[in-house]
Amino acid sequence: MLKEKISFGNNIKYISSYLPTTQLSRPLLGSSVSAGFPSPAQDYIESELDLNEYLITHPAATYFVRVAGNSMINAGIFDNDILIVDRAIEPINKKIVIAILDGELTVKRLYIRDGHWYLSPENSSFPNLEITPDSDLIIWGVVIYSIHPTR
């Protein structure tokens, strides 16, 4: 049974809901950017891209979560990143999830092996968390994007 009070734990700073009140459209260039050898640039705009439409599939079930800590750095999730979390997506094996474990919110990768569940950090400095029958666990949502500045 879930404890009545939920705290943010040591790696979630806050949660906010998605409010699709403003369209955020920006020009989308008609050419891909080469990550290998440079190619001649094509100087035209193909269309407009609305980030709400691109990033949000289930508006009523989408939330933003700010990360605190370094337990997920090997998954490309860093301190102070903003995660886009979709509560309508099924939390299956190997998905990164926001979980409430024993009353604390945390972000970890979910592993399900031989009927056992684990919440696993993506940083070897942190231990795996095995979910036991005594654990209070709710998978709150699945992380679909991480937003952070380039490093």
Q: H-type helices in the chain, by residue range?
A: 51-55
Residue 126's alpha-carbon distances to 9, 74, 77, 91, in angstroms, are: 14, 12, 14, 22
Residue in this structure with the two tokens 């031989």, named with its chain if needed: 114
pLDDT of amino acid 151:
72
Q: Which has the closest alpha carbon to 62: 80, 89, 23?
A: 89
pLDDT tens digit sequence for 68-93:
999 999 999 999 999 999 999 999 99
pLDDT tens digit sequence for 101-127:
998 889 999 999 998 999 999 999 999
Residue 47's alpha-carbon distances to 20, 24, 68, in angstroms, are: 21, 13, 36
Q: Which domains can be identified in the chain, with CATH numbers?
A: 12-20+57-147 (2.10.109.10), 25-54 (no CATH)
Which secondary structure element, helix H or strand E, spans residue 15, and what is its range?
Answer: strand 12-17
- Above pLDDT 90, what percent of the chain? 47
Residue 129's alpha-carbon distances to 75, 109, 118, 120, in angstroms, are: 17, 10, 5, 6
Q: Kindly give, in sequence order, each residue whose CB lies less than 8 Å from that of residue 45, ignoring residues fewer than 6 positions away.
A: 27, 28, 29, 30
How far, in Å, CA of 108 to CA of 128, rounded? 9
Reported pTM: 0.74
What residues are labeled active site? 71, 108
